[in-house]
Structure 1
């Protein structure tokens, strides 16, 4: 049975999400040993990393970026060695985007750091795996609901 959630509770959830995000910021001062990226580059890199072989058009749509802004971010990611553009095997006019080995290393380092940070924050209280899994599911639903047109 679903109950109505108050605006106050939803606003508190958003506030906590923002606070946690600041602590985990991949562009923040704790990310000294990863490839430095802008917020836009992080958003594009996240999409390319989870959707290897995606096209610039699909990436623009999924990230809600204008093509000109996406083009600048992609150019920078290519220059930083994070994204590789390849011609589509069936249509050389279409570019496909792939994360590079350097991107994989950087993403793995960030994910490891994030896991350690969250483990440290939760260890004193014990980690409830079911609660963490439930929280991930809720946040993924929110993410999907914020951009219902986003393709997966």
Structure 2
């Protein structure tokens, strides 16, 4: 990797982090009060309903105490419910609630409005989304967690 590529990749990561902070603030401005850890846990459960707490903790790369705290807060907010595994009653599966689905739709409206001004071209948006999915998939595969 040459210095130009190294600088570009660093800038990409820095911009992703900055954009994430702006989106987090926009969510808070809309009345949502979630920590970044709660957001990471909720995102995993939304994308993989029925996963176990162990799977979610490993995939989000959170230590068990931080994961447990985030999960408890999400349960208190009515966003996550636990269900016994039908094959093994000792195991608990995590599912998003109806309230979580409503919140996700609200978040989709908020973030879509915000980003539509910045990236109005549908094809450009598709390219950016595809690139970011590729980056996320690579990073997940690299850690062996998903």
TM-score, L = length of structure 2: 0.87
Q: What corresponds to 2:8 in structure 1?
A: 9
Alignment of 1:108-127 (within 5 A): 108-123=105-120, 127=121
Report the Cα offset of residue 26 of structure 1: 5.8
Higher normalized helix content (fraction of residues): 2
2:75 equivalent to 1:78: yes
Alignment of 1:128-147 (within 5 A): 129-147=122-140
Report the Cα offset of residue 116 of structure 1: 0.8
How many equivalent pairs are there? 143
Contact 2:74–2:80 at 8 Å: present in 1 too? yes
> CA distance change for structure 1 residues 53 and 29 in 2, over 3 Å: closer, same or farther?
closer
Q: What corresponds to 2:54 in structure 1?
A: 57
TM-score, L = length of structure 1: 0.84
Contact 1:43–1:63 at 8 Å: present in 2 too? yes
SS at match of 1:98: strand
CA RMSD of aligned residues (A): 2.0
Q: Distance in 2 between matches of 1:86 and 1:118?
A: 36
